[in-house]
């Protein structure tokens, strides 16, 4: 009978083909995950590309993969790290990891990362060009076509199918002619953007596009439609300039404050006129006379001379309430409220109300005026926070957001203002006074610019896992040497190979998971692409790495039964479904359960996938080994290519599943070809995987 020590020695020298294949599979899933990013609703500000067919189905796919992929990868990395340490020792392990991890990280940061930045700049700039050139290219066959206020000029245009028209591009360029043609050929006047719930009329109002707004109003577009923030098109006319400019920059739209404001005033006039006249009456507003009047008299002048401007004045639309609150301009706030302005206005970019802004910036006078006017104390922003919860915002967050808005802030002033607001809220609600943190001390001890750079600047992008592995190995070597010095036998604990492991590992990872997935609809762990990651993220993945290292033992050669593997996959499905039911938890107890379910899903999938691959890839298969070897290169190099391909198919009128598959397959094939020709048997291949040799003929 073979002793455990002999079995262990044997296992050290055996290559785990199943775990090799599984590690490569986890790497390649990264391409699938990123190929689906452009199809997530509302992803454009973060990713740079959002497909016209974005769908929540891809959000589900993202959750399914992200909930376990990198956890499994770190677990297997810990396994192979222990294998190498047991076989070669600490010094050889350190040298090996420098060659295979640290050097590829530096090379990728010097090559792939700049390519990613260039690709980002290209796709964001391409959005602007696409909006400007969309209509010009449509009429190329007929030569230049001058704009006209008469849609009949489109009769001889090159457009043969109204499906070619992107009405959103018409809004952004204020192209009333093309939009009118789109509507006359059956286009949906109430088309909705799935990411925000906004209609075409919402967009025209927000960006102050008077001509296209006139077309939509005349076409009886729904003026009472509400977006996901509960705002109507009319509500967006009072959006503050900073928010407007910021959203415009994210979507690649250049805006001028004067034009946006005058356009909004003109749209407000159209709304007022449309309210005074039924749409079917002869005096009803039309896109032609509205635009011509604006062009002849100027938007501001023509608007201010109309009798019904007084009704617009009463709504206080000429006052930006958010600006008045942030500047603590009590006169403007009272004027706005006296004229009937909406006190519970919502900022469409983050769902915050004016009272949220007053609490965050410590504007006590503004907050008191808003509360007296009936501002909702229980209103929630997009992060589920009520106004009083923003009184607890730390100095780092306060300073960062103030910097983005170009607002000068003083910690002592904000602290005093917040304390006054806390007293006001306490008096109104009858609840005990809110005890706030000392913001002045936080400001005094705030990290300098260099430390902020280390914590927040996105240095690594998708290469962050290599940076984590560098740190994990640095921690691993001295810990193993100390364990050996005190007499550690080298065998892993028995619990890691039994079902009892879940009772220990799930709660252990649920603790750091509790502090992650805080954004709405987030599932699974967060990632950190900065030099100094948050402790919760670092500890979370460290647990998986060390669990994988102690899993390395002769017992890990044992193949789980089909029953156990099936049970694990079933438990994975149950915990995943339970986690989705509790996504975006609103109470601490819900968050605890949510964290436990997310952690359970990760562990069940980790051991379930190990079991599946132990059956399918226990013996070496050349194609599986080839893909496993290539997966490192494919993952390092894929991101810029994925982004460019997503941008190329973004506006295609084709099923999203087809475009997603095209991006995934094209990226994989192109990079596999580059691996075979440029990497596998070159110095790059030596750095990534060790020396490679051509396949030997049998």
Residue-wise pLDDT tens digits, 408-451: 888 888 989 999 999 999 888 888 777 787 777 766 766 666 77
Reported as a single tens digit per residue, the pLDDT across 62-95 is: 999 999 999 999 999 999 999 999 999 999 999 9
Closest CA to 635 of 21, 4, 34: 34
Least confident segment among 80-84, 104-108, 274-278, 643-647: 274-278
DSSP state of 361: H
Of all helices (H) and strands (E), which one includes residue 683? helix 683-689
Reported as a single tens digit per residue, the pLDDT across 125-159 is: 776 555 444 434 433 443 443 433 333 333 333 33
Contact 258, 208 (CB under 8 A): no
Instruction: Show the CA angle centred on residue 375, arms to residues 370 and 381, nearest 5°.
Output: 115
Contact 343, 377 (CB under 8 A): no
Hey, is 23 helix, strand or coil? Answer: helix
Hey, is 192 helix, strand or coil? Answer: strand
- In the predicted model, what is the mean pLDDT of residues 606-634? 92
pTM over 0.75: no
Q: What is the 3-state secondary structure (H, E, C) of 248-304?
A: HHHCCCCCCHHHHHHHHHHHHHHHHHHHHCCCCCCCCCCHHHHHHHHHHHCHHHHHH
Reported as a single tens digit per residue, the pLDDT across 277-317 is: 544 433 333 333 433 343 333 333 333 333 333 333 334 44
Hey, is 671 helix, strand or coil? Answer: helix
Contacts of 160 (CB under 8 A, 6+ apart): none
pLDDT confidence of residue 144: 41
The answer to whether residue 506 scores a pLDDT higher than 80 is yes
Angle between helices 588-616 and 17-35 in degrees, nearest 10: 130
Instruction: Round the average pLDDT of the chain to a whole number and report it.
Output: 81
Contact 418, 436 (CB under 8 A): yes
Closest CA to 634 of 21, 28, 10: 28
Least confident segment among 21-25, 126-130, 139-143, 691-695: 139-143
C-alpha separations of 245 from 176, 590, 672 in Å: 23, 37, 42
| Cα 692 from Cα 103, distance rounded (Å) | 18
398 band by pLDDT with thresholds 50, 70 and 90: confident
Closest CA to 548 of 10, 7, 26: 26
Contact 355, 329 (CB under 8 A): no
Neighbours of 514 (CB within 10 A): 18
- In the predicted model, what is the mean pLDDT of residues 620-649? 94
pLDDT confidence of residue 300: 32
Neighbours of 549 (CB within 10 A): 24
Closest CA to 82 of 537, 480, 371, 467: 480
The answer to whether residue 6 scores a pLDDT higher than 70 is no
695 band by pLDDT with thresholds 50, 70 and 90: low
Alpha helices (runs of H) in 498-561, residue ranges in sequence order: 501-514, 535-551
Contacts of 5 (CB under 8 A, 6+ apart): none
Of all helices (H) and strands (E), which one includes residue 89? none
């Amino acid at each position: 009978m073979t002793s455990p020590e002999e079995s262990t020695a044997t296992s050290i020298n055996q290559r785990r083909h199943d775990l090799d294949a599984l590690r490569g599979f986890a790497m390649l899933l990264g391409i699938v995950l990123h190929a689906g990013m452009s199809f997530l609703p509302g992803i454009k500000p973060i990713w740079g590309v959002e497909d016209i067919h974005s769908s929540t189905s891809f959000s589900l796919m993202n959750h399914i993969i992200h909930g376990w992929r990198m956890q499994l990868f770190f677990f297997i990395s810990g396994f192979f790290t222990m294998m190498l340490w047991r076989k070669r020792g600490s010094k050889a392990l350190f040298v090996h990891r420098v060659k295979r991890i640290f050097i590829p990280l530096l090379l990728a940061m010097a090559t792939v990362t700049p390519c990613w930045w260039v690709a980002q700049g290209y796709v964001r700039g391409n959005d602007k060009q696409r909006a400007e050139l969309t209509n010009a290219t449509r009429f190329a066959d007929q030569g230049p076509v001058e704009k006209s206020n008469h849609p009949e000029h489109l009769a001889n245009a090159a457009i043969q199918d109204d499906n070619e028209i992107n009405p959103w591009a018409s809004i952004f360029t204020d192209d009333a002619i093309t939009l009118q043609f789109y509507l006359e050929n059956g286009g949906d006047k109430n088309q909705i953007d799935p990411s925000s719930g906004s209609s075409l009329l919402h967009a025209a109002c927000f960006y102050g596009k008077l001509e296209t707004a006139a077309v939509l109003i005349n076409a009886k577009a729904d003026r009472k439609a509400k977006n996901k923030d509960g705002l109507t098109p009319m509500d967006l006319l009072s959006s503050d300039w900073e928010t407007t400019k910021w959203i415009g920059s994210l979507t690649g739209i250049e805006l001028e404050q004067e034009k946006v404001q005058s356009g909004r005033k003109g749209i407000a006039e159209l709304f007022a006129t449309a309210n005074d006249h039924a749409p079917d009456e002869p005096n009803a507003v039309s896109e032609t006379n509205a635009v011509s009047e604006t062009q002849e008299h100027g938007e501001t002048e023509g608007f201010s001379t109309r009798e019904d401007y007084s009704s617009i004045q009463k709504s206080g639309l000429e006052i930006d309430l958010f600006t008045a609150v942030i500047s603590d301009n009590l006169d403007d706030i009272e004027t706005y409220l006296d004229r009937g302005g909406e006190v519970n206005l919502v900022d469409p970019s983050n769902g915050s109300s004016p009272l949220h802004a007053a609490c965050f910036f410590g504007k006590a006078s503004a907050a008191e005026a808003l509360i007296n006017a009936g501002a909702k104390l229980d209103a929630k922003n997009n992060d589920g926070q009520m106004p009083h919860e923003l009184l607890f915002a730390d100095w780092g967050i306060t300073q960062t957001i103030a910097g983005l808005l170009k607002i000068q802030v003083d910690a002592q002033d904000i602290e005093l203002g917040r304390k006054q607001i806390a007293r006001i809220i306490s008096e109104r609600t009858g609840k005990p006074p809110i005890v706030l943190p000392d913001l002045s001390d936080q400001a005094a001890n705030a990290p300098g610019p260099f430390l902020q750079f280390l914590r927040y600047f996105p240095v690594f992008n998708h290469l962050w896992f290599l940076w984590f592995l560098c740190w994990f190995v640095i921690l691993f070597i001295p810990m193993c040497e100390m364990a050996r010095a005190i007499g550690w036998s080298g065998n892993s604990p028995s619990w890691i190979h039994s079902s009892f492991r879940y009772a220990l590992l799930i709660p252990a990872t649920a603790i750091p998971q509790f502090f992650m997935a805080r954004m709405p609809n987030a599932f699974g762990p967060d990632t950190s692409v900065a030099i100094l990651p948050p402790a919760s993220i670092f500890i979370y993945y460290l647990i998986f790495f060390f669990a994988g290292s102690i899993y390395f033992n002769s017992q890990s050669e044992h193949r789980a039964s089909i029953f156990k593997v099936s049970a694990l996959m079933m438990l994975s499905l149950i915990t995943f479904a339970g986690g989705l039911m509790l996504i975006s938890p609103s109470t601490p107890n819900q968050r605890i359960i949510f964290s436990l379910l997310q952690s359970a899903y990760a562990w069940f999938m980790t051991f379930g996938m190990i079991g599946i691959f132990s059956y399918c890839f226990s013996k070496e298969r050349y194609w599986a080994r080839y893909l496993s070897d290539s997966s490192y290169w494919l993952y390092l190099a894929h991101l810029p290519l994925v982004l460019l391909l997503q941008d190329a198919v973004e506006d295609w009128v084709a099923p999203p599943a087809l475009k997603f598959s095209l991006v995934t397959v094209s990226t994989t094939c192109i990079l596999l070809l580059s691996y075979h020709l440029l990497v596998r048997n070159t110095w790059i291949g030596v750095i990534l995987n060790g020396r490679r040799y051509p396949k030997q003929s049998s």
